[in-house]
Amino acid sequence: MNAIILAAGLGTRLRPLTDDRPKALVEVAGASMLQHLICKMKSAGFTHIVVNVHYMGEQIIEFLKRNDSFGIKIDVSDERDLLLDTGGGIARALRFFDNEKPVLVHNVDVISDVNLGEIYSLAEGCDTLLLVQKRSSSRMLYFDDNMSLTGWMNLKSGEKKSPFADFSPEKMAAYAFSGIHVINSAMARKMKEVEGAFPLIPFYLENAARMNIKATLFPDACRWVDAGTPEALERAADILKYINFK
């Protein structure tokens, strides 16, 4: 199974912890966020991982070498010269895979006890499967009765984006993106056609009318946290107590 870990972010929300290291190497519960996620993926059966790097990327490269890539195949997608945003970063990382199997994409600062293997298997039959949540967020994704992506809205500014002229947020189900999704081969080919930096969600919205972009709800029994702030690290450490992997 294939996976991408998005680890190229600047980590500004985690300062001062990221003054001397990339966000991926900030430690929680005795190990870096990157190590926890690699080990979780390995335990779930993932055999090829691509990690993208930018800010202090040489530290991540050295970390992987020092740990012999934790015994699985790990490639580094190097964005140290130019940060490619979420969409562009994924598009470049996709080029490292030599098969057309689905690719799980996971933010490095998302800590959860969700079963990644199960999420990976659920993506069959759609071009992209987004793992979404019922939680408060200023930026929401909207879905129809079939859980197909229809639009996006910034609740603070009122800005809306949708490829559908009749898009009405009040008639749709609103969910927050979890930072975990699965890309299938048709979407991977479409993303690799785009050059340079581009954001992920606008790309999905541009293609929502002609491609099958679905969502599945984050299981109620599972724990999740965006560990991108110092305040969230304690919650992340608590979640890691419930994850059994080596």
Which of the residue ranges 145-149, 153-157, 189-193, 217-221 would you say has the lowest mean pLDDT? 217-221
CB atoms under 10 Å from CB of 13, counted, come to: 17
pLDDT at 244: 55
Q: What are phi and psi of 23, to 5 degrees?
A: -55, -40
pLDDT at 19: 93
Q: What is d(CA 194, CA 88) in angstroms, rounded to the nearest whole number? A: 8
pLDDT at 220: 86
8-26 pLDDT, tens digit per residue, is 999 899 999 899 999 999 9
3-state secondary structure labels for all residues of 114-141:
CCHHHHHHHCCCCCEEEEEECCCCCEEE
Burial of 64 (0-12, 13-18, 19+ CB in 10 A): buried
Q: What average pLDDT does range 132-144 have in this prediction?
A: 94
Q: Is the pLDDT of residue 44 over 70?
A: yes
Place of tokens 């500014």: 157
Kindly report the pTM of this predicted structure: 0.95
